[in-house]
Amino acid sequence: MGNEIVTKSDMRIIAARSQTQDAFEAVGIIRDSHHPALAGVCFLDDKEVAERLKVTRRTVQNYRDRGILSYYMICGKCLYPEHEIQQMLDENFHPAYYD
């Protein structure tokens, strides 16, 4: 292997860039799905709750104002216990029935 010029079109570079991109995407998925736990409780912000409930952030605020959702207010930021959101969904689930 002498003095070889490696360019961006070299298959090794293309493969390395592809692997790097895959790694960045995997880290992004992990980052987006990670909810730090405090005392064993994971929290969601209003955007994450809205996505999970398939409603707008304004609707999440209405649910909070009406006492439907439990939350913590810390320095102006609302945090919702993830397990309570799931519990609310479970309690309000109505299975389909067939005649």
Nearest-10 Cα torsion for 78, 40, 34, 50: -30
Task: Please report the pLDDT score of residue 36 as a whole number.
Answer: 63
Look up residue 89 and give its amino acid. Answer: L
pTM of the model: 0.59
pLDDT one-digit tens code per residue, 71-92: 999 899 999 999 999 999 999 9
Tokens of 66: 């009406």
